[in-house]
Copies of this chain bind each other. A is one copy, B any other.
Amino acid sequence: VVTGTPIGELDTPALLVDLAGFERNLARLADFSRRTGVAVRPHAKSHKSPLVARKQLDLGAIGITCSKLGEAEVLVDGGITEGILVSSEVVGPRKGERLIALAQRAGVTVVVDDPENAAELSAAAERAGLRLDVLVEVNVGQERCGVLPGAPAADLAEHVGRLPGLRFRGLQGYVGHLQGVRDLAERTARCNAAMTQLVDTRRLIESRGLPVNIVSTAGTGTHEIAAEFHPGITEVQPGSYVWMDASYARVEGTPFESALSVFVSVVSRQRPGQAIVDAGWKALSTDAGNPSVKGRPDLTYAPAGDEHGRITGDDLPPLGGKLEMLPSHCDTTVNLYDRFHCVRDGRLEEVWPVAARGATQ
């Protein structure tokens, strides 16, 4: 595909970035950081792209958050060598070796929630002659990973602080269960409770004489709420804000705009009231429900197999007609594609690789 190609001529299905909206979203988060003093370490799980990470850093982000070690490796390979936070526990000897190898060529911090895991990472770091920066992950309500707040977290922090291969840097308390709570009052109340647990845990650790430099939390749906707890909370990890999606669009009070879509074509018009498009489960994720049709609230999409979708409604596009779908969940939809087609003023401007697509290890 050639730069300048009109959007209508792009082959489908294609993952489209609305560059103007994307850039405004980046600017909005940078403004938030300047306004509140809260640092941002945007989450790469949503874009999986060193190019996007570089733009985030250029606008003042202090680093980049990754879900998986494999994502972090792709970012480092792409030149992002400072401020990388691996926000999931890294467990097992093989992964430990990879983490240490990465820490030898980039600034990497990892989370832990288990003393034995911490001891193993410490031993691996010692063997390599380095100290690994560590955050203790605290469970502030997601009930997934993380030690309990208060004394259990403080005990693990002290354990980490005593290990010769690790450097205790602070806490992570992720609130993935709250990002999508639609009602702003309910989200605020529940997030406040979680942030209070996190800041109280910070104070407890400091009262034991251990400095806490980093308290990392919150995402697209909760970063403004968490900011009220600054400076107890030092940084937030929004990811989806760069694109937004149909799920986040329903969450009250998120100050970002839709900047990602999947361009699809009608490939069959044989039934009245339905148009079959060329995007099914393999082109549009459905873990957060069905995608919606951009600019056409009168039309409904449902998957119709691996490679087909069924659009229903009254005023349907003809055979060969094209539509833009708004993903229900941007992270899992991006992960299906090898590249972003970046569009401005109706024309293709750039193509970016989804470099860490599939980097689940």
Partner of A305, one of B89, B95, B176, B271: B176
CB interface residues, A 86-114, toward B, < 8 Å: 88-92, 94-95, 113-114
Contact B336 A88 (CB under 8 A): no
Contact A308 B278 (CB under 8 A): no
Contact B320 A92 (CB under 8 A): yes
Contact A88 B281 (CB under 8 A): no
Contact A360 B282 (CB under 8 A): yes
Q: In the complex, which residues of chain B have a beta carbon less than 8 angstroms from the beta carbon of A226? A: none
Distance of A244 Cα from B358 Cα, bound (Å): 22
Q: In the complex, which residues of chain B have a beta carbon less than 8 angstroms from the beta carbon of A252? A: none
Partner of A269, one of B114, B267, B269: B114
A67 within 8 A of B: yes
Question: Which of the 9-residue segments A57-65, A73-81, A185-193, A283-291 touches chain B?
Answer: A283-291
Contact A267 B320 (CB under 8 A): no
Q: Quick one: copies of this chain in the complex?
A: 2
Q: In the complex, which residues of chain B have a beta carbon less than 8 angstroms from the beta carbon of A276? A: 144-145
CB interface residues, A 1-47, toward B, < 8 Å: 9, 11-14, 45
Q: In the complex, which residues of chain B have a beta carbon less than 8 angstroms from the beta carbon of A283? A: 360
Distance in Å: Cβ of A220 to nearest Cβ of chain B: 14
Partner of A116, one of B11, B113, B319, B361: B319
A306 within 8 A of B: yes
16 interchain pairs (CB within 8 A)?
A9-B94, A11-B92, A11-B94, A45-B307, A90-B267, A91-B267, A91-B278, A114-B269, A114-B270, A144-B276, A144-B304, A146-B270, A147-B270, A278-B360, A279-B360, A281-B329
